[in-house]
Amino acid sequence: MTIELKPSQPQIEQTPGAIAQGLQGNIGLTSLFLAILALSFAAIFIRLSERELGPVATIFNRFWVATVILGLGKVFETLRERHSHDSLLQKQHYTVSDLVLLLVMSCFFSGTLITWAWSLTQTSVANSNLLHNVTPLFTTLMGWLFLSQSFDARFLIGMVVAISGSILIGLGDLHLASDNFTGDSLALLSAVFSAANLLTVEKLRAKFSATTILLWCSFFGAVLTFPIVLLTEDVLFPYSWAGWLTIIAQALICQVLGQSLQAYNLKGFSSGFVAVFLLLDPVITAILAWIIFAERLTPLNWLAFSVVLAGIYLAKSSQGAEKVTPLGS
């Protein structure tokens, strides 16, 4: 089996519409970078939360706190629109297929977070992040198999280059041992769930706003993980102020801000490109550790950062990165 390659497109003179589209693309890249910056704190918050909670309880609390924040935002938006004379608010109509797709998306996202959080208790952070970062491979493959998506050679080369760079980042800390097998397998499974989640959100963005998708995702996620916590773990809520602050920060920064911006950009960029762009996560995390904790960065690390950026540039300049639809909500 082969992935369909798109033929190279001839150069054409830029029109005002093309310039506007390029400007939108730059705005989208900026907001996508902010999303990755917010999401790069996820592993840190999860590890801090797991001082008091199990992996599933950590994710459950992230979901219900995010649901409260997003729900209050929706209530405020509705009240504001009702008191506005030029209200543009339209009622959202949900079909059965919409609700099923929202539930499936929530299952994928919950699976991503639970398996990743679980893997962090069974293997090293380096192993977990490295295996989770193969998400672009699964996103591209599943998009081709199930959604008839196609990618040109430039995009595929950029994806491989970016993944190679992300592997180089954690290569020095990689631990190959039989007792890491469970954690490593869970991290790889989280990459599969993450790819499926990106593709599902991309489909939902054709109809729903990013905040609506995240509200349903957080709500369904809390409902799905609540019985799992009760059956598998002893502690449901944090028992210290530090624990609660970690959960609130995780919900606000990673779920509300990071995931909302990521979902927003799935209207303008393909899920495959967003997955490749997510490979900036280990780059940002390593640089933050260098700035905040004075952790040493080797020449190999800097080379790896350059390789990731080169791969993202190649993928971005391909035909498979941006969609023709605008980046509006």
SS3 329: coil
SS3 248: helix
Per-residue confidence in pLDDT tens, the chain, 329 aa: 445 544 444 444 545 544 444 545 567 788 888 988 888 888 778 878 888 988 889 999 999 999 999 999 888 887 887 776 555 445 667 888 889 999 999 999 989 988 887 887 777 766 777 777 788 888 988 888 887 788 888 888 988 898 888 777 766 655 555 566 788 888 889 999 999 999 999 999 988 989 999 999 999 999 999 999 999 898 999 999 999 999 999 999 999 999 999 998 888 888 888 888 888 877 777 777 677 667 677 787 788 888 888 988 888 887 666 664 443 44
* Residue owning tokens 């729903």: 208
Q: Which helix (H) or strand (E) holds 49?
A: helix 42-49
On whether the CB atoms of residues 217 and 109 are closer than 8 A, the answer is: yes
* Residue owning tokens 């489909």: 203
pLDDT of 225: 92
CA gap 259, 110 in Å, rounded: 13
pLDDT of 178: 57
Q: What's this model's pTM, rounded to 2 decimal places? A: 0.78
pLDDT of 286: 74
pLDDT of 79: 81
The partner residues of 322 in beta bridges, in order of sequence, read: 269
pLDDT of 20: 45
CA triple 97-265-263, angle to 5 deg: 45
CA gap 160, 132 in Å, rounded: 15
